[in-house]
Structure 1
Amino acid sequence: MTFYGLKTCDTCRKAQKALRGAGHELRVIDVRSDGVSPADLSRFQVEFGDAILNTRSTTWRGLDETERARPVLDLLIDHPTLMKRPVIEINGQLYLGWGKDVQAALLG
């Protein structure tokens, strides 16, 4: 299972703890320090559309209107912390966020 998130994100920490507690082995990729490849970001955008963009983040609030109007993929490449988190990949299936639907699918 590959887990894309941020070390400093409370939701990501809760998700990691729950997943490990359920016996999942995680390969954690910190989107800030490790980075995410443009190919992976593109896959995420294809799968989730504009929902991949976290418009409630501090990074988003710091962008001016010109920046916000750029294509989503370009924004994510330049500002990986704009990615909604976590993105979890298991057996080729992608999950976005840590809502009840994702928890039910991954924790049983």
Structure 2
Amino acid sequence: MRTVFHLGTCNTCQRILSEWKLPSDVKLQDIKTEAITPEQLDQMQQLAGSYEALFSKRAQLYRGRGLHEKTLSEADYRELILDHYTFLKRPVLVLDNQIFVGNSKKVVAAASEALS
């Protein structure tokens, strides 16, 4: 899989996508209009090591649903990400057997290097 999972309405995602020089074979998937499939999420989890690594605790729904007060399992993280796109830490770049999750400077720089 060679895909960028992003949110088209997110300014941070748009800024990062403009920095990356994406090859033409990398698919852009706006997770708001094209939901993540369970198979895609499972493949991302295999590369990232856990569903928690893919989960955004900054999402407004995280506090809104009181999830910050609960102990979540890997199955809970998986279900929440599949339930609502906002729970995926963005952007996620999957390049064959590599994954880059989130928008930290370190992750964005590592992804840029992998793309060049």
The TM tier, using the shorter chain, reads 0.7 to 0.9
Number of the residue aligned with 2:40: 40
Deviations 1:37-63 (A, max 9, x none): 011112223424212111111222321
Contact map agreement 2:100 2:111 (CA 8 A) in 1: no
Deviations 1:11-44 (A, max 9, x none): 211111011xx35334211111100001111222
Q: Superposition RMSD on alpha carbons, in Å?
A: 2.1
Q: How does 1:66-105 map to 2 (within 5 A)?
A: 69=72, 71-105=76-110
* Number of equivalent positions: 104
Q: Secondary structure at the match of 2:99?
A: strand
Q: 1:106 to 1:53 in 2, by over 3 A?
A: closer
Give unmatched runs, 5+ long, in structure 1.
none
Distance in 2 separating the partners of 1:27 and 1:44: 15
TM-score, scaled relative to structure 1: 0.79
Q: Are 1:60 and 2:62 counterparts?
A: yes
Number of the residue aligned with 1:5: 6
**Larger displacement relative to structure 2 (95-104 or 28-37):** 95-104
Shift of 1:91: 2.6
Letter in 2 for 1:24: P
Shift of 1:102: 2.4
Distance in 2 separating the partners of 1:36 and 1:51: 16
